[in-house]
Amino acid sequence: MSYRSITRRIRGVGAIALLGAILMHGWPAVAAPQHRGAPPTGSIRAFVTKVVDGDTIHVRIGTTNETVRLIGIDTPEVVDPRKPVQCYGREASARTKALLDQQTVYLQADSTQGDRDRYGRLLRYVWSANGVDTNLLLISDGYAFEYTYALPYRAQLAYKAAQSSARSAQRGLWSPSTCAGVVVATKTRTATKSPTPTRTATATPAGTVSAASAPCSVGQIKGNRTSMIYHLPSGAYYAKTKLSVQCFDSERAALLAGYRRSTR
């Protein structure tokens, strides 16, 4: 047998062994550590000019102003004019402000997520000058949910593990004394008064929460963060889905967020 034949056989055996390992254990994942001692190589220096809410910030990169959406996290709503303020939204915003406002940070891109979202915001991991992954820290301390949009991101396993730890320890929004992991509308924003309608209103007021729709508003779709399945108001499990819930105004929004429709 020639040397070339022997080499081909060895390579074939190696490929089979590798394939078997992948099938048994899955592809290896890269997990970002919470503290590195220094920002990661390749990250871009920026200055935080404003914290919009728990997961969105304004930064200045050189002479350019940008809006940044933190990868892999979702904090309760507090500024979206279409939605009421949600449980722990103000606390999450205050925590992000305490960590990042008027601070020098380092922005790290993730090739699995694209450069920007559909609103034109940069998608980035945000690191402190001393190497703390702010995205991960917010999940670990119970100020944010782990959030996967469409495709898994590089640090997904680490972020999911951090959420599991925060949930088990009942930190932040996972505490029974706060939200118990359920993002419930706490207060509707003050809005400009509209003229009194000339006809009798019969529709349910926006932001109303019923026993069946809780923690979402009436008519909203419920997404189960654990199973990544969404339930329509007419679904068999809609009323039963109350823990670790994300609310959506449309099926399209749920699908874009990576959820799949319940079969019942």
Peptide bond into 205 cis (omega under 30): no
The active-site residue, picked from 69, 95, 124, 154, is: 69
CB-based contact 103:48 (threshold 8 Å): yes
The active-site residue, picked from 95, 121, 124, 225, is: 121
- Tokens 């190589």 found at: 41
**Which two three-digit tokens encode residue 120?**
């034109």
- Tell the burial category of 183 from Cβ atoms under 10 Å away from its Cβ (0-12, 13-18, 19+): buried
Examine the residue annotation and report whether 264 is marked as an active-site residue of this protein: no
- Tell the burial category of 232 from Cβ atoms under 10 Å away from its Cβ (0-12, 13-18, 19+): middle
Between CA 24 and CA 44 the distance in angstroms is 37
Examine the residue annotation and report whether 121 is marked as an active-site residue of this protein: yes
Examine the residue annotation and report whether 77 is marked as an active-site residue of this protein: yes
What φ, ψ does residue 95 adopt, rounded to 5°? -65, -45
User: Which residues are the active-site residues?
Assistant: 69, 77, 121
